[in-house]
Structure 1
Amino acid sequence: MGKRGVFFKGISDVEGKTSADRGATSREIIIEALENIPPMLSDETQKEAMKIIHYTVNNVKMGKVVDDKEVKRLIKNMVEEIIANQDAMLNLIKIKSHDEYTFSHSVNVCMIAILIGVRYQLPIDSLEELAFGAMLQDLGKIMVPDEILFKLGRLNEKELEEIKKHPLYSQQILSENSRIGELPKKIAYQHHERWHGQGYPQRISGENIELLARITAIADVYDALTTDRPYRKKFLPYDAVRLIVSRADDEFYADAVRAFVESVSIYPLGSLVKLNTEEVGMVIKINRKAIVRPTIRILFNPSGNIMEEPINIDLIKDRERFVICAIDEEEVYQMHTDQTGEE
């Protein structure tokens, strides 16, 4: 978990020196700020989640059934932690290689789906069903040939049709364990269906799609958009949220989109933003009554230099400042390099 005590006193070391005093780079400043936002899931639970999804996939590859007891134990812990830490940062797992994408994506989709479900006020048993299905929704991809799954170029029609079979494969794999209920299987089968009826595999629409699958669909798309892939650069969280909002009541169920935005906000915790003052800071608190006016920790002054003493600005109270755009980490690094010649 983050070191809360340091955060609101300024980013400083044990001798009381600020990051600017120590000649820290912009990269170090951003990393330090991120480390001091408490995460929704503990490192221990995240590691356990990755371990169990690896274990589950490997077992299925060897012809074994899904160990529902292990997954349910994990899910229970994840739901409890997320309910307890809703105002903490959505700490999505970063992948180191494309081979890890399937594993990290499964855990991330599960976390986001739980968060949406909590905001949607689902009861605990429904949250756990949602989490189970969201965690294993892509399990069927192990039956898709690697040369299709990891292809860098555009898929041809035949390859695309093979990819579109993975929801059916996921449902079939989950059905092999009689202890797994119908809802997780529906989530796995329907998470690529769309509200307007143009999804797959059945092209069903509206309320014919299970509610928990509608929620999982949003979580699935958000994580996919905000993750670097071999064939495209990741979206900024702000841009991913905007895209999903723009498709509410078309591709996505509007009430679930509303719960999603209330959960992650338009400027998610940990996002970097530029203000009208040309200052750059990190979102450290979401103001749910006015999501476009979060609390910002100013890290860089209008000249692009590191703040000697970072300050926290609540944009609800400070009406002179406002966010003009979200900004990418690399853009901040480049900005600071241009100013200082460092990095």
Structure 2
Amino acid sequence: MKKIAIETLRAGQAFTQPVYIEGNNLLVPAGIAVRKKDIERLRAWGVQTVFTDGEAVSDAGAQKPAKAGAVKSSAEGGSGEPDAVKVSSHILTLPAVHENKSVYRAYTDLIDRLNTVFGQVSSGVSVEARSIDAIVGRLLQAVRESRVQVIGFILGGAVAGTELAKSSVNAAILATLIAIEMKMPNHRILHIATGALLHDVGMLKLPKEILNKQGGLTEVEAQRMKAHPLYAYKIVCKELLYSEDVGIVALQHHERWDGDGYPRRIAGEAIDISARIVSVADAFEAMVSEKSYRNSMIGYQAMKNLLSDNSRRFDPDVLKAFIRTMGIYPIGSIVLLNNGSIARVTEVHGEAPLRPLIRILIDDFGKAYEQDEGETVDLLSEKSIFIARAVDPKDYAGTT
């Protein structure tokens, strides 16, 4: 394909063949005029060249952009780039969260129940394993019956004040999804979900001044932090009387594929597969959650970080299964489309992680849709529309 410098493009110009951005990302179809807004966006995104096999045609012979599937064309009178649009915060909130639907109440109930268990462990109160088993059973049921919604809660939930319980439930949801994608037998999925739920229980044995410290840890503090998998293993196997299949998750979830982890510095397949799965789930959950020492990442940035691992920290096969499950733009992500619309990712295609299903939240006219009223677009079939970039919901949410 021929390269065309952005500086040479003119508004109203068209080509005899489609024009692309970086491979298969379509800018405009053949014969469709490039808009001034298109050129401005390319510059804003730092794109310097586009590609086409076609020849430029006269501006007079170009067609105006038509509707692309369910998304309105801003060439037909759109209000422009919606980056400046500030909308009522509930527009960007997941409907189940805003309306407190039963599936969201079930999710928050899991967190509350686990938080109670953690409180008992921290206080030295005896905990019966069956109370944890009940939480695991409810979690597995939620994943199987309401998969899309519970994934969305990981990025779009609004649970505060129960950070350890919330991160543990989220990690267990993600680990369960990976195990299902990898076609693990049911008894292994049960062990993985239980182990993921309890993998950080050893944190309860650490001083709060270490857990909540905003600056860097001293060498002594870091060593104490690295002991939490050992504490967790002891709690899981000695106090809660779970089997080694569950305890090994807590013990090994900070081991690394390259052998540079802790506490035992084992590598590769010497690390139990359950722990390898929970390691990926735990890492993603940690990146998308607020911490005392940093802000949360958006889901896309967290996925990019995982993809750049290059077999250092994570089992490549587990990572591939996670990407098939979550996509590059995880369910619940807020994204900016090439036509200027803002949308939420509602489902992913495992075979095409860059082309998820989306629901329009703010169209290219600047119109904001109430909960679930925006059109749903399958980017796998709507080839003229693509995700320009993921965005942070906080950049768009207003104060009402």
Answer yes or no: is the 8 Å Cα contact 1:276–1:323 preserved in 2. yes
1:127 to 172, 189, 201: 189
Distance 2:210 2:345 in 1: 38
Secondary structure class of the residue paired with 1:74: helix
1:209 to 263, 268, 271: 271
Note the C-alpha offset of 1:34: 6.2
The yes-or-no answer on 1:50 pairing with 2:114 is no
1:139 to 201, 208, 213: 201
1:236 partner letter = I
TM-score, normalised to structure 1's length?
0.83
Answer yes or no: is the 8 Å Cα contact 1:38–1:89 preserved in 2. no
Structure 2 residue aligned with 1:80:
141
Structure 2 residue aligned with 1:25:
87
Note the C-alpha offset of 1:95: 4.0
1:312-327 paired onto structure 2 within 5 Å: 312-327=376-391
Residues 193 and 33 of structure 1: CA distance in aligned 2, closer, same or farther (over 3 Å): same
Note the C-alpha offset of 1:307: 5.5
Structure 2 residue aligned with 1:223:
285
Distance 2:190 2:94 in 1: 33
Note the C-alpha offset of 1:168: 0.3
Note the C-alpha offset of 1:133: 0.7
The yes-or-no answer on 1:306 pairing with 2:348 is no
1:247 partner letter = D
2:326 to 248, 264, 283: 264
1:108 partner letter = N
- Structure 2 regions of 5+ residues with no counterpart? 1-85
Residues 37 and 289 of structure 1: CA distance in aligned 2, closer, same or farther (over 3 Å): farther
Distance 2:96 2:104 in 1: 14
Secondary structure class of the residue paired with 2:374: strand
Distance 2:95 2:235 in 1: 42
The yes-or-no answer on 1:71 pairing with 2:135 is no
Answer yes or no: is the 8 Å Cα contact 2:103–2:149 preserved in 1. no
Secondary structure class of the residue paired with 1:282: strand
Residues 37 and 184 of structure 1: CA distance in aligned 2, closer, same or farther (over 3 Å): farther
Structure 1 residue aligned with 2:302:
240
Q: For residues 145-166 of structure 1, give each alpha carbon's deviation from its aligned partner in whole angstroms, at most 9, with x where no partner exists.
A: 1111111111111111110000
2:337 to 243, 267, 275: 275
- Structure 1 regions of 5+ residues with no counterpart? 1-23
2:146 partner letter = N
Q: For residues 100-122 of structure 1, give each alpha carbon's deviation from its aligned partner in whole angstroms, at most 9, with x where no partner exists.
A: 21121111111111111111111
Distance 1:47 1:31 in 2: 16
Note the C-alpha offset of 1:257: 0.5
Structure 2 residue aligned with 1:109:
171
Answer yes or no: is the 8 Å Cα contact 2:276–2:314 preserved in 1. yes
Note the C-alpha offset of 1:38: 11
1:85 partner letter = S
Answer yes or no: is the 8 Å Cα contact 1:65–1:173 preserved in 2. no
Answer yes or no: is the 8 Å Cα contact 1:37–1:284 preserved in 2. no
* Cα RMSD after superposing both structures: 2.5
1:53 partner letter = L
Residues 32 and 206 of structure 1: CA distance in aligned 2, closer, same or farther (over 3 Å): closer
Q: Of the two, which has the highest radius of gyration? A: 2
Secondary structure class of the residue paired with 1:198: coil
Percent identity over the alignment? Answer: 29
Answer yes or no: is the 8 Å Cα contact 2:143–2:150 preserved in 1. no
Residues 72 and 26 of structure 1: CA distance in aligned 2, closer, same or farther (over 3 Å): same
Secondary structure class of the residue paired with 1:262: helix
Distance 2:389 2:119 in 1: 43
Secondary structure class of the residue paired with 2:188: helix
Secondary structure class of the residue paired with 1:228: coil
Distance 2:247 2:137 in 1: 18
